[in-house]
Amino acid sequence: MAEITAASVKELRERTGAGMMDCKKALTENGGEMEASVDWLRTKGLAAAAKKAGRTAAEGLVGVAVEGTKGAVVEVNSETDFVAKNEQFQSFVRDISGLVLTVGTDVEALKASAYPGGGTVEEKLTNNIATIGENQSLRRAAILEVSQGAVVSYVHNAAAPNMGKIGVLIALESAAPSDVLTALGKQLAMHIAAANPLALDAADLDPALVERERAIAMEKAKDSGKPANIIEKMVEGGLAKYRKENALLSQLFVIDGKTPVADVVAAAAKNAGSPIVLKAFERFQLGEGIEKATSDFAAEVAATAGIKKVDPVA
């Protein structure tokens, strides 16, 4: 029997879209023969995902799960919003959200981990692709944890309990009563969902983003025709505004529109009689950063019907 190498497993996986263990088994069953292994996977229904693997999956669901003082958020993508309403897909997102709490956030490790009910996460995902009929992907995950206090979750545009279009986790370190922290955390999480802060405070903002804003502000200021010293002040003023508007603690609380979030937390701590530290947050918005393919629907229909599209004459 031919030796089953990592390279052959990789090649078969790339050709069929099947899971790694399924590819290894296929090669073993077929003496290492590539084409026979492809056919074997097809007969098992495990290569059905291959035709869909190139499609853009930018819809789906963001799921959250909280156990004690630890919370997880995960994004699982599909091609269309319709799949987000599918119970099979929702069940997968729910299971993965809980699994992250024990397995961790590394996507490859998650895929290789045991799925509740049998098999691996990757095998379950491959099966879902085949049975639901759309490309799907486990995109990313994050965990927040505190030693004392609460991790609070919030889902915006919920499609089902604990899953929707935007998922937020917020970590509050404190000895204050849990009901106080939960109420505060929920309000802050709703703020984060709406205001989309880029960092906890100004010092945590991505330096590359700050430099980009500096360059933009400089170009705008140069057009004013002001002296160099005035331009520098204009640029620094613009950057100060950028930092204030994009760091969570300095943002104005969306509920009243006037109080900085840091002051909201301080007031809650004073009322509770115990310090409260807003330690961290995570905000996952479905499909952010994914480049969605654009298409000409009329052209697609014409192509399917074998009709050449003719542009209208001006």
User: What whole-number distance in Å separates Cα of residue 113 and Cα of residue 74?
Assistant: 15
Q: Are 135 and 160 in contact (CB under 8 A)?
A: no
Higher pLDDT, 96 or 306: 96
pLDDT for res 314: 39
pLDDT for res 292: 57
Record the tokens describing residue 288, joined without a space: 């952010």
Give 304: exposed, middle or buried? Use CB within 10 Å, 0-12, 13-18, 19+: exposed
pLDDT in tens, 119-164: 999 999 999 988 888 888 999 999 999 999 999 999 998 999 999 9
- Going by C-alpha positions, the residue among 115, 164, 9 that lies closest to residue 126 is 115
User: What whole-number distance in Å separates Cα of residue 29 and Cα of residue 22?
Assistant: 10
Q: Summarize the chain as % helix, strand, coil (round to 5).
A: 50, 20, 30
Please give the backbone phi and psi of residue 127, each rounded to the nearest 5 degrees, phi first.
-65, -40
User: What whole-number distance in Å separates Cα of residue 70 and Cα of residue 105?
Assistant: 13
- Going by C-alpha positions, the residue among 114, 111, 116, 134 that lies closest to residue 48 is 134
Amino acid type, 293: A
DSSP lists the bridge partners of residue 169 as 153, 282
Question: Fold match between 6-47 and 59-203+247-285?
Answer: no
Which of 33-37, 75-79, 209-213, 261-265 is most confident?
261-265
Fold category of 59-203+247-285 in CATH: Tetrahydropterin Synthase; Chain A (3.30.479)
Task: Using a pLDDT cut of 90, give the percent of the chain over it.
Answer: 55
Q: What is the mean pLDDT of residues 279-307?
A: 64
Q: Name 189's Cβ contacts closer than 8 Å, sequence gap at least 6.
A: 152, 153, 154, 168, 169, 170, 281
DSSP lists the bridge partners of residue 72 as 65, 143
- Going by C-alpha positions, the residue among 19, 21, 8 that lies closest to residue 46 is 19
Q: Are 71 and 64 in contact (CB under 8 A)?
A: yes
DSSP lists the bridge partners of residue 154 as 168
As a whole number, the mean pLDDT across the chain is 86
Record the tokens describing residue 162, joined without a space: 């604990």
DSSP lists the bridge partners of residue 142 as 73
Cα-based distances in Å from 39 to 11, 23, 47, 294: 14, 11, 9, 33
pLDDT for res 278: 97
Q: Return the domain boundaries, the chain.
A: 6-47, 59-203+247-285, 206-245
Query: What CATH number has the domain spanning 6-47?
Result: 1.10.8.10
Helix residue ranges per DSSP H, 20-142: 20-29, 34-43, 87-103, 107-112, 121-132
pLDDT for res 262: 97
pLDDT for res 180: 96
**Helices 228-246 and 207-222, packing angle to 10 deg:** 140
Q: Among the listed ranges 27-31, 111-115, 176-180, which one has the minimum average pLDDT value?
A: 27-31
pLDDT for res 199: 96
pLDDT in tens, 300-309: 444 434 444 4
